[in-house]
Chain A
Amino acid sequence: MIKISGLSKHYGETLALDKVDLKIMDGECVVLIGPSGCGKSSLLRSINRMIDIDEGEIIVAGKDNKTYPPQELRRKIGYCIQNVGLFPHYTVYENIAVVPRMEKWDETRIKERVEFLMNLTGLPLSYLTKKPHELSGGEAQRVGVCRALAADPDILLMDEPFGAVDPMTRIKIQLAFKNIQKELKKTVVFVTHDVEEAILLADKLVVMQEGKILGYDAPEAFAKHMEEDFVRLFLGEDYPVKLLKRHGIDDYLKQDGDSSVTLHEILGRLLKSETGVVEVTDTQNKIHEIRFEDLTRYLREEERR
């Protein structure tokens, strides 16, 4: 658990963080969203002490993060940023092995770990001997994720990690990351300004403005407050529609199965249907009819959960 209380940070005259309180539960992916300059990156970077805070405290794994030696703290926390920043003179393998090597893991364990992570992120093992300049943007980004996860940290900090890749690659990488997170259950703090990315990945959403937290809740819960200015401003009037992307048809049918069809797509089909009904088949080959009212009802239920 990460417990942040009374956190303030000034840059000269400007107040980047204004007495922020935030509690992040283990295994949750918390996405910080807000306009640029709202303090989301400062908040993220203060967790592993990449910046020093002026007031307040941050408890990481039960201890004030100031009591750790900074290098030790940072090795415990995975870190992944927009420009990836892979070491250009290291191979992919050496890049991923940086933290385990500093932690003095033996080489066989490092090798196992690296191969595990390559498989997890969908990179072929033949890439291990490549240098970063031989990788595409998306591949480099995956290696960046591997490197952040290398020493198996409990906490992962990600600052717009997929911001620099093209939209097609980005969605692939986002889905891959969602699956990884489902499997590894890390405590993730994730900064983005892309609402759809936030909706896709977040267990909890933190909306920030001018160094303050305006709202902290599950993404669905924000749809309850569409009357609030900040929700309409930062998440958009169409927020409920975007929210449908989070939910696969299997969630709706309350069964395990194919989640590749989202309710967002069902909505698309509804808009074009003559009868106002879309039919879907479940895993038992039973046919279900979905109407507008069903989606409305489903969203309302989700908001209340």
Chain B
Amino acid sequence: MKTGRITTAAGSFLTLFALTLLPWGEFKINRVARGIPIQAMGFLGWAMWTTSIVVLLLIIAVIRWKPRFFNAILSWILLFLPSLGLILLSRYIPDGVDFDPKVARISLGIGFYLFYVGILLLLSKTAYPKLKIFLSFLFILAFAGNMDALGLVREYRNIEETFLRELSRHLTLALFSAMAAILPGILLGYAAMRYPKAREWIFGFVHVFQVAPTLSLLALMMIPLTALSKAFPFLADLGIKGIGFAPAFIVLFLYSLLPITANTYAGLKQTDPAVLENAVALGMSPRQTLINVWFPLTLPSIFAGIRTAMTQNVGNTILAGLVGGGGMGALIFLGLSQSALDLVLLGTIPVVVMALILDAVFEVVEVGTVRKLGVDYDQNLRVE
């Protein structure tokens, strides 16, 4: 319970701190203008601001003295607060400033972020924390139509089509490159186990890609690919050339090898020797042992490797934007070059959310597999 109390205290502190002292956003008369900081008091007005602080204090009191009520009912209402805050923030109109309502915008500031983090902390120790966190984000998305003045929404409206195209490209690139690495990764892991002499070579090979900076790897990949497409022009027609999809895909594929290979190898290594001895002694051929015993028992570990590869790939795919591979990286680097921070955020937030969702989905798949096999990780390691 101790960590629960610390989390609650931190959440209470952050929400109060954000509400009293921190700027929630900046009002800009155009995309690149300097912003005017907006305090919570500023966009809520005196009366509402005082009320919200009192309400927040009440909520904290409920958490402290009536935790069951908070857990059952109040925490579900808490979900709405970040989206409610955003709606109110986007309504803000500064006094005495001349601006064109079609171009002016509000960028999010530290106050909003910390408020959101604080709310998530308060929710994290209640029932169904993941669902609640997901819902709170979903509400923000759902009400985005009422937040036209937000810079993020403005940027999105400007490039709606591009955004959706790059988003699906990002996902395709990240998922397919990791999926392509599944079979080779498993085979390499198996080979490392089967042929101890080759092990160092295999792990050396997969580690190189992990250690080399992604960026330099992308650059390295461009040279042979360019040469290839020059030598065989038909390859260029297929999309295999120095820039674009091909180098990004290959680098991400190579990156995905290590977690899958290492996990497969570790899973195979940890299989109970008594189980394997029995498989042989009962008359299973090496192939039957592999298919009937070794592989199913290693499956949870392989899944963990695939999960790592997928989530790490979602982040790494940002760099594909640098070599014309598209994805969210294209938006992020465009935003950076134009110092349009809202555009950068518009590219970054979906990546984070994608990684989290993917991780959660894989966790469900993984737990399901483990349950179906009737093995826990620990039990897989040593079966009495």
Residues of A within 8 A of B (CB): 48, 50, 70-75, 79, 81-89, 91, 98-99, 102, 131-133, 137, 140, 147, 164
Q: A102 to chain B: closest CB distance in Å? A: 6
A interface footprint on B263-287 (CB within 8 Å = 1, 0 otherwise): 0000000001011111111111100
- A88 and B278: CB pair below 8 A? no
Q: Is the CB of B384 within 8 A of A102?
A: no
A85 touches B275 (CB 8 A): yes
Residues of A within 8 A of B280 (CB): 50, 74
Contact (Cβ within 8 A) A99 B275: no
Minimum distance in angstroms from B375 CB to a CB of chain A: 5
From B284, B292, B374, B383, give the contact of A85 (CB < 8 A): B383
Assess whether A88 is in contact with B383, with CB atoms less than 8 Å apart. Answer: yes
What residues of A have a CB within 8 angstroms of the CB of B379 in the complex?
Answer: 88, 133
A140 touches B384 (CB 8 A): yes
Can you sample 9 A-B contacts with CB below 8 Å? Answer: A70-B283, A81-B274, A87-B292, A87-B293, A88-B383, A89-B373, A89-B375, A98-B282, A132-B374
On whether the beta carbons of A71 and B275 are closer than 8 Å, the reply is: no
Contact B375 A88 (CB under 8 A): yes
How many residue-residue contacts, CB under 8 A, span A and B?
Answer: 80
Q: Do A74 and B282 form a contact, CB below 8 Å, given A85-B272, A85-B275, A89-B297?
A: yes
Interface of chain B, main secondary structure: helix
- With A86-B383, A87-B293, A89-B373 as known contacts, state yes or no: A71 contacts B278, CB within 8 Å: no
Least CB separation from A99: chain B residue: B282
Tell me the B residues contacting A by CB distance below 8 Å.
272, 274-285, 288, 292-293, 296-297, 373-376, 379-380, 383-384
CA of A99 to CA of B280 in the docked complex: distance in angstroms? 11
Chain B residues lying within 8 Å of A73, measured Cβ to Cβ, are 283
Q: In the complex, are the beta carbons of A74 and B283 less than 8 A apart?
A: yes
Query: Which residues does chain A contribute within 8 Å of B279, judged by CB atoms?
Result: 87
Compute how far the CA of A147 lies from the CA of B274 in the bound complex, rounded to whole angstroms.
Answer: 14
Give the Cβ gap from B296 to chain A, nearest Cβ, in Å.
5
The interface residues of chain B lying within 8 Å CB-to-CB of A70 are 283
A85 touches B277 (CB 8 A): yes
From B376, which residue of chain A is reached at the shortest CB distance?
A133
Cα–Cα, bound, A95→B222 (Å): 53
Contact status A131-B374, CB under 8 Å:
yes
Q: Considering the chains assembled together, what is the distance between the CA atoms of A174 and B380 in angstroms?
A: 29
In the bound complex, CA of A272 to CA of B297 (Å): 57
- Give the residue name and chain of the B residue nearest to A50 (CB): B281
The 9 closest A-B pairs by CB, nearest first: A85-B274, A75-B283, A83-B274, A85-B278, A131-B374, A74-B283, A79-B281, A89-B373, A71-B283
Q: Which residues of A contact B274 (CB under 8 A)?
A: 81-85
Does A79 lie within 8 Å of B278, measured CB to CB? yes
